Structure 1
Amino acid sequence: MPMFSDYDSADSEHTWVMAFDGYDPQDEGHREGLFAVGNGYFVTRAAAIEATADEIHYPGTYRAGLYNRLVSQVNGETVENESLVNLPNWLALTFRIDGGDWFSIDQVEILSYQQSLHLRSGVLRREIQFRDRDGRQTKLHEHRFVSMAQPHLAGLHLELIAENWSGELEIRSAIDGRVINNNVKRYEPYNKQHLEPIATGTLEPAGIWLNTRTSQSRVELGLAARTQVLVDGAAVESTRTIEQEKAQIGECIRVHVNRGAVIAIEKIAALYTSRDPAIACCIEASQEVVLTAPSFTDLLNASKHAWERLWMRCDLEFEPVEYLRIARLHIFHILQTFSPHTADLDAGLPARGWHGEGYRGHIFWDEVFVLPFLIYRFPAIAREILLYRYRRLNAARALAHQQGYRGAMYPWRSASTGGEETPRFQFNLLSGHWTPDHTQLQRHISAIVAHTVWEYYIITNDIMFLCDYGAELLIEVARFWVSFATYHPEFERYEILGVMGPDEYHTGYPNATTSGINNNSYTNLMAVWTLCRAQEVLDLLPASRRRELYHWLKLSQEEIDYWDTVSRKMRVVFDENGSLSQYEGFDRLQELDWQQFDHERINWVLEAKGDDVNRYQVAKQADLAMLFFLFSKAEIEALLQRLGYTFDLNQMQQTLAYHLQRTSHESSLSRFVYAGALSQLELEKSWQLFTQSLITDVSGASSDEVKSGIHLGAMAGTLYVLQHHYLGLKVNRGRIYLNPSFPTSINHLRVSLQLQSNDFQIEKIGDRLNVAAASTNQSSVSIIYHGEMVDLQPGISLSFALNNV
């Protein structure tokens, strides 16, 4: 169970620090993922510097978007998987006294221990007082960071205090390229060796380097490091020896230490790849940069200043204050995953960050939760995430064509090329069985890609992005939906058959010979929404660009008219009580006896018993509730009215209550979705779900999951609820709409936004909502508060009375 330090909440600096008191080997993997440090270019896990991979520790460094494909024999078949690659370990540093045992946290008597992550500065600290088997007592102070100022550099500072001993101290500093991908237990049967060593060597006057490459993608990696040792603040006589192999290189430094001495060890490391811009050779670049890098202190100060600039745009204030640290932790991990340094890397937004090997580092649909945070603060970064999708538009076209459809069908899991990366099998750890993985049937991913493109446009008003990229993508996704839909003459409506919704439990109907379910409400309505936006986007384009697209894409008015027809005749299924059904037939499934399950994956338990989760009314996560998360009640009513259906407030409440009762929340992308969906209906229930979601990754219940990476979508999702549901923020082409609905527990909330180069601050204090425009803003903006429009001039603040306080 995590042992977080209970800082005094009145001290504001402590709202920037997450800390664990006491060493817990069983929780070490969780802490390694949660306290990882990075800069958007690469991320390094919070593994002990002296450790190699074993049952407790897992050093890991990952470069954004760097994948490699391996072939394995699994379940009697040949399969291929593309994975985020674990890179050589630059952290490797340990020591011993008088030729004794090399230091290991697991082999000494720990007198005190604290590990802390400093969010404001991006620094990870570890403070230990220990006694070895010979009774020697030592204090250890460690600081590490990955530079937010110079993206290819990282630093490590280790201070040792010889409390009751004198002798020879031997320090071993290395770059270890013998690493494999071994972070996820379920991937045990797969091949894991992604790196091929090339060479190692030394630098003058001091330093080491390692050159390696990925086995299939053929990406070269250059790592270099320099290590300096000071005793009581001064250089002392020492001896250095090199330990060199093809896949590992280290240097041993020996110094004499007197009782009470303070030994400072400084290690600076550099990482480049052959895909990085503006270099000729990655190993030469890393060597040059590490030799010319400033001291640890100067490098750290530059990184702190870079973090400060990011926080100026991103910070929030939030009460209850006990949740503020966690909200800032979520922002911190978003920025470590996608920062200004990620912009030129052609990287998507991974579900687990670049923090571990969960889901093999693949890209799913998490941008729908993350992008709204970034668009309001770093629109250029958000644009790059969308360009990752646009650059893979041809791959989405090919995927649609392969399956007999038109347009663009985006894959459920994407990596380097944009092909479908969903594995053929999943391993059930409870039963030991391999089962087919049908999650590629989540066709709703294409609508989410279209949705994020549209959200970016309406917030930024970036018409050039729409002209050059967004419109084409929206049109091609619309083409997919109309080719994928099937006309049902009995209902005189179109249907979407053989899919999966966000609920990954239901892969088909009981005893069916084919996979997939029919008329998932969320999928069908997202398809309708996409078809509406594709028609609208054509009207928004300048006439010249519209003509180009008509010609280039061979568009016709007849085709666009057909989009309109399908968008008005899509079938949506309601149950006998008038509630929206998750999918056709869901309400006819058996009810589940929840008492027999105790925090275990329900589908695994049932499969292990010879049963099938497809037989039951149980959802792994929020499914059709995603509609109420993404859209307002009025927008959902408009979509259904377009189709000829009526849907009132009572039906909305009934629908959400019915499906919430049958949701297990076994996905991290569940509780915050319901929190948002219920924000206009049941505020206290919404708040309860929100706070449960907020602690997803910091709680002990998530320990095994976070070991293989954070849950980036869940982290961003909580910020989405604060920003879009409780604050009620929506921006549409230059106008700010505010429809707040605050739970009584939120005493204070302040966020900062940037819209079209203008800066704003929105703050809830007591029973007032204040909106302030920076004096440097170039123009006024219209504020629509609960339907009433007010003009906000630069340098002016408006105050509104909150209705629900």
Structure 2
Amino acid sequence: MRPKSDSDELLIQRIPSDGWAVDFGEGEGVIEGQREALCTVGNGRWATRGAVPESSADDTHYPGTYVAGLYNRLPSQVSDRITEDESLVNVPNWLPFTFAAEDSPWLGDPTVEILENRHELDLRAGTLIRHFRIQDLAGRVTRILQRRFMHLERHELAALQTVIVPENWSGELRIRSGIDAGVKNFGVPRYRQLSSTHLQIDDLRHVGDVALAIVETVQSKTRIATAVRLSLHDSAGPIGADRVQITQSIEGDWVGHVAVLHVIEGEEIVADKVAALMTSRDAAISSPEEAALAALSTTGPIDDLTDSHELAWRRLWQRFHIDVESDGPIDVATLRLYAYHLIISMYGVGAGSLDAGVPARGLHGEAYRGHIFWDELFIFPILNLRLPWVCRSLLRYRVRRLDAARAAALDAGLDGALFPWQSGSDGAEQTPKVHLNPDSGRWLPDVTHLQRHVGLAIAYNVMQYFEVSGDFVFLEQEGAEILLEITRCFASLTTFDDDKGRYVINGVIGPDEFHTGYPGAEEPGVNNNAYTNLMTVWLMRAALEVLNELPEPRRAEIVEKLSIADEEMVRWSDISEQMFIPFHVDPVTGAEVISQFEGYEELAELDWHGLIERHGNVSRLDRIMEAEDDSVNNYQASKQADVLMLPYLLSASELEEMLAQLGYNWTTDQLPATIDYYLERTSHGSTLSTVVHAWVLARSQRADAIGYLDRTLRADLELAQAGTTSEGIHLAGMAGAIDVVQRCFGGIEVRAGALWFDPMWPVEFGALEFTLRYRRHTLLVRINGASIEVEDLGGPGQTTIQVGFDSEEEAQRLHVGQIIRHGIPPDS
């Protein structure tokens, strides 16, 4: 379906500034949940949703905190079976903070009236700021300013500062601050029939002036220590024991402090809460509790933490610098907001020995149980060009699970390494056996583990990381082995069909996800998914290329280690030249198009207009049709881009060359017909779909491409999406939005050892400026509708890089300090 012409109301209200802050009101139900997700603070090691500190989990608020890579499994009774599900664990809540005047109820009680309430996310400083005023039943009015962050460099630390000003009263002020250790995974309504208690409390105690909670996950046995310290000061400095009485308190699953002091009207009282979280998964510690206590003991005042935290963010934004003319149609604050969420989800993965992947919803909620799919395929293009060491760490998440993938392949009767569609702690397949359709209330079999193409994405990411970084050490020591083992897996998935005289791949599910089988078939999966088959061709070619490029003796070592025979490499070459790709003729236009899978054209056409009239939003067509006792398997309808993933990952010329090598007479002139065919048959049930459609339409149908870009930029911000965003942001969609602006419309491609530019930047977008990192050189790129300018801001020694423009045949050398300017043809 084409982009909508009208737009839904947005949750955020941008502050009139330089695009470095976004402003949120407070909502009810899922709207507040959406705000909490979008106001998450974190550093990539852990993150906390933007719930107000006085709240607890209920139908409006959900103060979840998540640690990258920290999972636990629980059995659940679902319908007539026992299932086991692994989830990213909601760890003890360090946020709880409330106060009261005199004998008034605590802030958070419904009798305390909120007069004003505004949340501001300061992107430049990585800090959430809350301005609000309250009034109790006695008419006492109090003004409050809160600031919170998770330190960008001291990854174990978080801070909450609260400034309390009594506006029209003097008297006793009570403050309650602590840790809630009795949390559960309860953030996704459709999972609430599943077991949710992942933690058992080992100890709640005080050590000096620190409150300490120690818990352990019930199955994975990860020990988690959360420690918090509370200090108070006024304009004269720290408030001593002669003025404030602080009591240590343990109540049920809560441990903390209660402070009581006398305040004067108009006086500022500042409460500083600093938290440290350590787990038994952390390196170089004796125990989590000792490490958490030690971290707090070496931490100075919160103002010092703030200064170093903000300095770290300023340095990081130099790598993620992006600016767009303020009077253009692209809002730079949205781009920076999405970059912020990418940073707080991924940055810490590149630090130390953290073992974590890319959860589809970031560290912002519990949708998909925090599992890792193929989303790094959409995230790597941004991180490769800014934080390549984070990409290397993310690839090592896969490398560490290579043996598990080998075991999975063996169990499936395959060679090499078979990576799971949904991954978590140890590399085992975490795709649930059943899933709930909330529209029908039925639990249904889930066979989406047949999305074998996740292995293709991993291999593609290995090669893209190498192309951008030039990291030969990684390729030789780790990358080549994982790529070759994935190649062996897909070669063994491939069989030779005598009738076709070609190689085929049967019984898989493509990126579309809707089509899990043929109508009425007992066995799941479809045959010859075009994306899977063509990317398998790409994989065979890439594997042979890597083997050719590996220097001796490393090539001989890896061939010997993996027992790769010459006959095996010959078969890879044969597959790359004889793979079957399905085509069919569009009955309306008569044009030949690439079939999504074999037999796709035989499926019934769908009455899109009738469905939209009955249901409005049809993005989750699979749920709608199952609830009507029908199946999307019966129709030519896709959840998201499938065939069109090919021109997203491969250039049109590369696609033409690959098909020619296979013996198909297909040219790039035929690509628009295939694009148009699937445009009319896609429901865009995933934010990734609008990313891909914006990309593939950028040259041929720019107006539609801009429409899809607009939808991508708004996806997590529209109030209509509150129900899904409240469960976690769509991290790959956010990264994809930035990627479409910079790499697609900016025309950036890395190939053949050079960085190439072929901009198609619309004049109406104004001017674009951003930084990127290519092979250890930092570049500043400026693009407008008439020209492009590339400046080398710095690199190692006397090294140079190759930079080219598609209107020229050869790339040219760029030296540190040099600027290259290039004109853009008027029709670009």
TM-score where L is the length of structure 1: 0.97
Post-superposition CA distance 1:202-259 (Å, at most 9, x none)? 132x221111111111111111111112345441512122221563212111111222
More displaced, 665-674 or 790-799?
A: 790-799
Structure-2 change in CA distance of 1:684 and 1:73 (3 Å): same
- Of 164-173 and 438-447, deviating more is 164-173
- Do structure 1's residue 762 and structure 2's residue 775 form an aligned pair? no
The one of 818, 821, 824 aligned to 1:796:
818
1:543-554 pair list within 5 angstroms: 543-554=552-563
After superposing on structure 2, the runs of 4+ consecutive aligned residues of structure 1 that deviate more than 6 Å are none
1:273-422 paired onto structure 2 within 5 Å: 273-319=279-325, 320=328, 322-340=330-348, 342-343=350-351, 344-422=353-431
Tell me the distance in 2 between the aligned counterparts of 1:744 and 1:24: 41
Cα distance per residue 1:583-602 (max 9 Å; x no partner): 11212211112232311421
Higher mean displacement: 416-425 or 257-266: 257-266
Instruction: Indicate if the aligned counterparts of 1:233 and 1:264 stay in contact, CA closer than 8 A.
Output: no
Residue 42 of structure 1: aligned partner: 46
Give SS of 2:688's match.
coil
Aligned partner of 2:455 in structure 1 is 446
Equivalent residue number for residue 94 of structure 1: 98
1:4 aligns with 2:12: yes
Check 1:140–1:564 CA distance in 2 against 1; reply closer, same or farther (3 A cut): same
Which runs of structure 2 are paired with 1:139-538 in the superposition (5 Å)? 139-204=143-208, 206-234=209-237, 235=239, 237-245=243-251, 247-319=253-325, 320=328, 322-340=330-348, 342-343=350-351, 344-538=353-547
* Deviation by residue 1:687-725 (Cα, 9 ceiling, x = unmatched): 110111111111112211111111111011112222322
Instruction: Tell me the SS of whatever aligns to 1:253.
Output: strand
Matched, 1:779 2:799: yes
- Does the CA-based 8 Å contact 2:349-2:393 persist in structure 1? no
Q: Which residue of 2 aligns with 1:707?
A: 726
> Which of 601, 605, 618 does residue 591 from structure 1 map onto?
605
Aligned to 2:6: none
What SS class does the counterpart of residue 331 from structure 2 fall into? helix
The whole-number CA distance in structure 2 between the counterparts of 1:727 and 1:783 is 14
Partner of 1:123: 127
Structure 1 residue 3: Cα displacement? 4.4
**C-alpha displacement of 1:635:** 0.7
Q: Quote how far apart the aligned CAs of 1:432 are.
A: 0.8
Residue 752 of structure 1 and its aligned partner are, at CA, apart by 1.1
Letter in 1 for 2:819: S
Corresponding letter in the other structure for 1:215: V
AA in 2 matched with 1:358 = A
Structure-1 residue corresponding to 2:738? 719
In 2, Cα distance between equivalents of 1:494 and 1:197: 56
In structure 2, C-alpha distance between the alignment counterparts of 1:335 and 1:779, rounded to whole Å: 29
**Is 1:85 equivalent to 2:104 in the alignment?**
no
Structure 2 residue aligned with 1:662: 681
Contact 1:409/1:446 (<8 A) preserved: yes
| 1:772-795 Cα shifts (integer Å, max 9, x gaps) | 112555322222211423332221
C-alpha displacement of 1:156: 0.5
Report the AA paired with residue 211 of structure 2: I
- Measured in 2, the distance between the counterparts of 1:314 and 1:605 equals 40
- Alpha-carbon distance between aligned partners in 2 of 1:784 and 1:299, rounded to the nearest angstrom: 44
How far off its partner does 1:133 sit?
A: 2.3
Following the alignment from structure 2 to structure 1, what is the Cα–Cα distance between the partners of residues 258 and 357? Answer: 40
Stretch moving more, 126-135 or 138-147: 126-135
In the aligned structure 2, how far is the partner of 1:794 from the partner of 1:630?
Answer: 30
- Structure 1: tracts of 5 or more residues without a match: none
The CA deviation string for residues 582-633 of structure 1, in whole angstroms up to 9 with x for no partner, is 1112122111122323114211111111111111111111111111111110
Structure 2 CA distance, aligned partners of 1:723 and 1:451? Answer: 20
Instruction: Give the deviation of 1:487 after TM superposition.
Output: 1.6
Aligned partners of 1:537 and 1:107: how far apart in 2? 67
Q: Distance in 1 between matches of 2:495 and 2:297?
A: 64
1:31-62 CA distances to partner (integer Å, 9 max, x unpaired)? Answer: 11111000011101101100110000001111
Instruction: Tell me which amino acid in the other structure corresponds to 1:784.
Output: G
The letter of the residue matching 2:817 is: G
Residues 512, 642 of structure 2: 8 Å contact kept: yes
Structure 1 residue 463: deviation in Å? 1.4
**Contact 2:282 2:354 (C-alpha < 8 Å) held by counterparts:** yes
Counterpart contact for 1:460–1:733, Cα < 8 Å? no
Amino acid in the other structure paired with 1:139: R
Q: Answer yes or no: is the 8 Å Cα contact 1:74–1:189 preserved in 2.
A: yes
Distance 1:499 1:275 in 2: 36
- Which whole-Å deviations, capped at 9, do the CAs of 1:549-585 have from their partners, x for residues lacking one? 1211111111100111111111101112310011112
Alpha carbons of 1:81 and 1:561: their partners in 2 closer, same or farther (altered >3 Å)? same
Shift of 1:262: 1.9
Residue 53 of structure 1 corresponds to: 57
**Which residue type is aligned with residue 196 of structure 1?**
Q
CA offsets 1:158-196 (integer angstroms, 9 cap, x no match): 111111122211111111100000011111111100111
Is the 2:656–2:668 contact (alpha carbons within 8 Å) kept by the matching residues of 1? no
| Number of residue pairs aligned between Structure 1 and Structure 2 | 800
**Cα RMSD between the aligned structures?**
1.6
Native 8 Å contact 1:200 1:245 kept in 2: no
1:736 aligns with 2:751: no
Cα contact 2:212–2:227 (8 A) shared by 1: yes
- CA gap 1:148/1:570 in 2 versus in 1, 3 angstroms: same
Partner-residue secondary structure (3-state), 2:592: coil
* Counterpart contact for 2:26–2:35, Cα < 8 Å: no
What SS does the corresponding residue of 1:670 show, helix, strand or coil?
helix
User: Identity over the aligned pairs, expressed in percent?
Assistant: 38
